[in-house]
Homo-oligomer: A and B are copies of this chain.
């Protein structure tokens, strides 16, 4: 049995970089009530700083329109009715947009290639002047409505995954750099303090990072941050109408990737640029059932624990299953990216975030399966996990942890998710996988979507608390240890044994 001895002499700072930003389905979905309900819950409990999604310029929000003048010529008409409602909602919920510029409005598109069930156009503008006008109109409107002070806090990222042929016509790097240059300069013309960045690539072609920064350097194009995505799954080995099945790499694979990209930046002409992972998850498919599992949480635990050492932020893709890239969901557990399933059902990974959110800012200890912190009030927090990527039952693991304590009595609170607890996917399978569950089924799924809570008191400690934690397969637990100020002796004559049966 592994034994870990933790002291509290380390004063390392442990910032919550995983809270900087969170992904969302296309922005137009933010008009939906269920979306707003999920986001309100997320913000109340986890309070992310930024939210990033596709589709700012997509035709459902409908910013770009054209109208005929009296003389028959056409003029652009910029319609901000919906984007105002969306951004108003975000700001009311205390989350700012991390703005992704894309995709192409149909009327400005040079081609007909689209992506997703909702048909985002991924072709370059047919006229870069009109594009520039659009971009400047949009930014100016944001400043007019929200003020310069606010808008200069919003990062603007140009396009999404241009290194993929389905996200950018021909994955044409040269065309992307052109788009970037024109767009970034257009933005800075409106206000020089607005932050712009790119190239928002997915993994697999990191030479884009190097080339992009060289290009910006050489062409004197503004760049305030570098962005990239990170998914950790292989190509699918089976695809059905409902689901997409993939193998996962080790989670260290992603950490290694981030380090190597970080090095590319450090070797570039802009070695100190902020580096944002503007999307990450296990699978990149919105119908991969892994997203609904406890494994997903156990797998990502180490990433939440360590990725912040490398990057400036990493943004989980996505907070909610209100999402339509693969069409309207066909079942409540359809393998969507969301932390929150339809009907407001928290998935295991939601609780992973919630557990990490309880951690303190003083890092006492960290290894491949746990992180230990301390808060100013003297309490100690652990998140501990037992990632098991192989098949099979059992596979539990016991760890022994010695924690420093200054009181001779402590109160221990443990919250657990595993196959049995906080796992609505399992319960839904037991129910017979109802596609359109009824009210009492939804109620049950909501009820079971909670961690198990256990509490315990330990007395007679002498500067050390020994915890022995047995973790089931893919369990993730949060353990909080509070010093006790015992008031029992302020109840004179107290005698629980006089209560019947006690």
Report B-chain residues with C-beta under 8 Å of the C-beta of A429. 457, 488, 496
Q: A495-B245, A498-B237 are in contact. Are A436 and B330 (CB under 8 A)?
A: no
Assess whether A70 is in contact with B436, with CB atoms less than 8 Å apart: no
Interface residues of A in 437-471 (CB under 8 A from B): 438, 440, 444, 447-448, 450, 452-457
Q: A31-B34, A455-B427, A494-B243 are in contact. Are A436 and B145 (CB under 8 A)?
A: yes
**Minimal Cβ-Cβ distance residue in B for A245:** B498
Q: Contact partner of A36 among B33, B457, B498, CB < 8 A? A: B33
Q: A145-B436, A435-B487 are in contact. Are A70 and B247 (CB under 8 A)?
A: no
Report B-chain residues with C-beta under 8 Å of the C-beta of A413. 444
Interface residues of A in 210-253 (CB under 8 A from B): 237-238, 240-243, 245, 247-248
A99 vs chain B, min Cβ distance (A): 17
Instruction: Give the interface segment out of A13-21, A76-84, A152-160, A173-181.
Output: A76-84
A453 vs chain B, min Cβ distance (A): 6
A474 vs chain B, min Cβ distance (A): 7
Q: Bound complex: CA of A343 vs CA of B490, how far in Å? A: 21
Q: Bound complex: CA of A27 vs CA of B245, how far in Å? A: 34
A429 vs chain B, min Cβ distance (A): 8
Chain A 469-502, CB within 8 Å of chain B: the 1/0 string? Answer: 0000110000000101111101111111111111
**Minimal Cβ-Cβ distance residue in B for A288:** B499
Report B-chain residues with C-beta under 8 Å of the C-beta of A454. 420
Q: Bound complex: CA of A421 vs CA of B247, how far in Å? A: 38
Determine how many copies of this chain the complex contains. 4
Instruction: Give the interface segment out of A46-54, A61-69, A100-108, A261-269.
Output: A61-69
Q: Which of A295, A432, A487, A497 has the most CB of B within 10 A?
A: A432
Q: Does A124 have its Cβ within 8 Å of any Cβ on chain B? A: no
Report B-chain residues with C-beta under 8 Å of the C-beta of A36. 33
Report B-chain residues with C-beta under 8 Å of the C-beta of A452. 452
**Minimal Cβ-Cβ distance residue in B for A84:** B436
Assess whether B242 is in contact with A491, with CB atoms less than 8 Å apart: yes
Q: A248-B500, A487-B433 are in contact. Are A495 and B290 (CB under 8 A)?
A: no
Report B-chain residues with C-beta under 8 Å of the C-beta of A67. 241, 492
Q: Does A430 have its Cβ within 8 Å of any Cβ on chain B? A: yes
Q: A240-B493, A290-B499, A499-B295 are in contact. Are A330 and B431 (CB under 8 A)?
A: no
Report B-chain residues with C-beta under 8 Å of the C-beta of A69. 492
Assess whether A501 is in contact with B84, with CB atoms less than 8 Å apart: no
Assess whether B432 is in contact with A241, with CB atoms less than 8 Å apart: no
Chain A 387-415, CB within 8 Å of chain B: the 1/0 string? Answer: 01111000000000000000001010100
Q: Bound complex: CA of A220 vs CA of B498, how far in Å? A: 49
Q: Does A141 have its Cβ within 8 Å of any Cβ on chain B? A: yes
Q: Does A434 have its Cβ within 8 Å of any Cβ on chain B? A: yes
**Minimal Cβ-Cβ distance residue in B for A239:** B493
Q: Does A293 have its Cβ within 8 Å of any Cβ on chain B? A: yes
Q: Does A32 have its Cβ within 8 Å of any Cβ on chain B? A: yes
Report B-chain residues with C-beta under 8 Å of the C-beta of A293. 499, 501-502
Not counting A70-B492, A242-B491, A429-B457, a sample of 16 additional A-B residue pairs whose C-beta atoms are within 8 angstroms of each other reads A31-B33, A33-B33, A80-B435, A145-B438, A240-B493, A241-B492, A289-B499, A389-B501, A391-B501, A391-B502, A420-B454, A430-B455, A432-B488, A435-B490, A452-B452, A474-B501
A-B contact list, 29 entries, CB within 8 Å? A31-B31, A32-B32, A32-B33, A33-B35, A33-B89, A67-B492, A70-B492, A77-B330, A79-B327, A81-B331, A141-B436, A242-B491, A242-B492, A242-B493, A245-B495, A245-B499, A293-B501, A295-B500, A295-B502, A331-B491, A388-B501, A411-B432, A431-B457, A432-B485, A433-B487, A433-B491, A435-B487, A440-B482, A448-B455
